[in-house]
Structure 1
Amino acid sequence: MRTGTKQIINGVKVVAMACVMLFAVNLQVLYAGAKKDSTSKTEAKKMRVVTSIVPLSFFVKQIGGEHVDVTVMVPPGANPHTYDPTPGQMTALGDAGMFVKAGSGIEFELDWMKKFTALNPHMVVCDASRDYRSRTMQGHGGDHVHEKIDPHFWLSPQNGILIANNIERCLATLDPQHKIEYAENRRMLEVKLGELSVEITQKLEGMKNRAFMVFHPAWGYFADEFNLKQIAAEKEGKELTPKTMQQVIDQAKKYDIKVVFVSPTFSSLQAETIAREIGGVIQPVDPLSGDYIDNLRQAAEAFVASMQ
């Protein structure tokens, strides 16, 4: 009798232990499922934003924070004057809630924006250059080039403030639930950009020679803000003829220029020829960096060093 009772008790213990283990396993499964569901909901709440170029993604990330999922159409290292989107990018665009365009005449946008909006007619298009003051392109020693608008407006801290305001407005319109957060993020970014502008102005104080040479004329807005003279070698992406090459070399000698700044997305062969003829060097400056503030700071330091 005692042996039978003991066996019954042991059996009950085994069943109880099995129930406890089964409960624990079910609890873990439920917790994992709830966690996954919570993560999925958090990700689903993020606004999918596509920007045409890398620098604009910086502003969306800074202002949108955790509420945005940002992708870029023209990837790092690609040239927005010539780039064509991939089939995968076109497919992904169908899920975007907002597209941020430069709006300043970049060839990529001129060629593709109508196709993008036709593909996703519900996508909000945010114009980052709204209300900006345009300037004309320059080439061959500073001559105006057929009054063509310079599209590189983002390369100026003051224009960066304008971009921040435009993107904040678009995000707040599309997602009013987080508009206070967007406004605060924009305000903090605006302070940083204002400080950057002051910092660069101070670096340039007392500089008598204020001319720098670039192969591709991307830094005109930067030059305008800080009262500098951008001398550009090429125009509209065309190779220099022997005649224009000599004109550029003469301009460089006139201003005692020893550095020719080049964009990483353009061929540097003709820039190297110019540098060799003036006894100088070429140096890269990137107009399409994603690290916007630090990139403008480094560019300013490079320009200052070249003018000393």
Structure 2
Amino acid sequence: MLKKFNIVFMILFIFSIILVGCVSEQTSETIVEADDKIDIVTTFYPLYDFAEKIGGEYVNVQNLVPTGVEPHDWSPKTRDMIQITEADLFIYNGLGFESWIENFFSTLDGDTSVGLVEASLGTEKLGSELEEGHEDEDDHEEEHGVYDPHIWLSPVQAKILAENIKQGLINIDPTHKDDYEERFIELSNQLDELHLKYKEVLENTSRNDFVVSHQAYGYLANEYELTQHSIMGLSPDAEPTIQDYKNISIFIEENNIQYILFEELVSPKLAESLAKELNIETLVLNPLEGLTEDQAKNGDDYFTIMESNLTSLEKALQ
């Protein structure tokens, strides 16, 4: 009897070891699958937002420029460079927006396996020539190059950025191609709806000219047949000359402009000072180069900010 009991005990013991092994193996595989995400590094907010929306649960996206920081005021540190080279995919805008990018590429090791996506490839580029009256053109072109880089502010052009991101993901992770395609179509439809809403609203305003502090809205203006007039050039920290200031003041008075549109991540003092001098008001028009701390906490994204921009534009163009 004892011998029979021992045999049964041994069979149960061996079976339990096999069972535990199988469970351990499955758990290990589950952990590997959960952690086996595509590591993506982006250079600024819209690329981050689109990469997250298209990549979904298959990606881990890190944005280089911190929340609340204006990208023109930021430059990468050594740790940022390491983060890029260790990623699976690096997404940048191009068109001179990342003034440091060429120097970074020149330091890349030939063995680096990170995939690269220049999101602006294939877009309809606008020249970076400044408005008549601005006198810092040479300094601007040295910083930004010959094109205006703010291409994401047109929902139509933003679709091309999103498509390039989608294709970059498919190139390094073809297994989930169908998922990326499906999410891209959803994002593309949202951009189409946003474009139609902008078109409908802006076709029914009483004026086409708007005044901004930072000349970042060329693509938006071009898309909806508007004209931006800026206090300063494409770089938001550029100082306008006395002649720039005089020219924009004359334009505002002669055209009965009631609002100056300014952005949140740089000081509004110049816009507020001019508005006070001319007895007009200011409104926020976000160039979407980044989110404020409050916007990030509130869960804002590309679409909510663009909706707010449309509200400001509609008011300024009445």
The answer to whether the superposition gives a TM-score over 0.5 is: yes
- Quote how far apart the aligned CAs of 1:139 are: 4.4
**Which residue is 1:91 aligned to?**
82
> Which whole-Å CA distance do the structure 1 matches of 2:46 and 2:82 have between them?
23
Q: Is the 8 A contact 1:249 1:277 kept in 2?
A: no
The residue number in structure 2 matching 1:14 is: none
The answer to which of 102-111 and 138-147 deviates more is 138-147
Q: State how far apart, in whole Å, the 1-side matches of 2:30 and 2:274 are.
A: 56
Alignment partner, residue 50 of structure 1: 41
Worse overlay, 278-287 or 70-79: 278-287
Q: How many residues align?
A: 287
| Residue in 2 that maps onto 1:252 | 252
Equivalent-residue separation in structure 1 for 2:133 and 2:148 (angstroms): 13
Structure-1 residue corresponding to 2:126: 135
Q: CA deviation at 1:167?
A: 0.9
1:295 to 293, 297, 305: 305
1:3-53 C-alpha deviation (Å, 9 max, x unpaired): xxxxxxxxxxxxxxxxxxxx9xx97xx97x678635531343100000011
1:13 is matched with none
Q: 1:118 Cα shift?
A: 4.0
The residue that corresponds to 2:224 in the other structure is: 226
Q: Cα 1:96–1:110, aligned 2, differ >3 Å: closer, same or farther?
A: closer
With normalisation by structure 2, the TM-score equals 0.80
Letter paired with 2:166:
E
Runs of at least 5 residues in structure 2 that lack an aligned partner in the other structure: 1-15, 292-300
CA distance in 2, matches of 1:119, 1:271: 47
- 2:240 aligned residue: 240
Task: Output the CA distance in 2 between the equivalents of 1:36 and 1:248.
Answer: 66
Return the index of the structure with the highest Cα Rg. 1
Percentage of identical aligned residues: 26
Q: Distance in 1 between matches of 2:110 and 2:61?
A: 19
In structure 1, the residue corresponding to 2:273 is in which secondary structure? helix
The amino acid that maps onto 2:241 is T
- Looking at structure 1, the residues matched to 281 and 195 of structure 2 have their Cα atoms a distance apart, in angstroms, of 27
Given that 2:284 and 2:309 are in contact with CA atoms closer than 8 Å, whether structure 1 keeps it comes out as no
After TM superposition, the structure 1 stretch with the greater mean CA deviation from structure 2, 56-65 or 36-45, is 36-45
Residue by residue, what CA displacement relative to the aligned partner does 1:98-142 show, whole Å, maximum 9, x if unpaired?
100101211444465326744982111101001111112354568
Distance 2:273 2:111 in 1: 46
- Structure 1 contact 138–217 (Cα < 8 Å) conserved: no
The answer to whether the Cα contact below 8 Å between 2:210 and 2:228 also exists between their aligned partners in 1 is yes
Whole-angstrom CA distance in 2 between matches of 1:158 and 1:306: 22
Gaps of 5+ in 1: 1-22
Report whether the alignment pairs 1:172 with 2:170.
yes
Q: CA deviation at 1:238?
A: 2.0
**CA deviations over 1:36-86 (Å, ceiling 9, x no partner):** 635531343100000011110111111111111000111222222231224
State how far apart, in whole Å, the 2-side matches of 1:150 and 1:255 are. 26
Q: Give TM-score scaled by structure 1 length.
A: 0.82
Q: Which residue of 1 aligns with 2:60?
A: 69
| Inter-partner Cα distance in structure 2 for 1:260 and 1:206 | 20
- Root-mean-square deviation (CA, aligned residues, Å) is 2.9
Give distance in 2, aligned partners of 1:40 and 1:89.
27
Q: Which whole-Å CA distance do the structure 2 matches of 1:116 and 1:200 have between them? A: 42
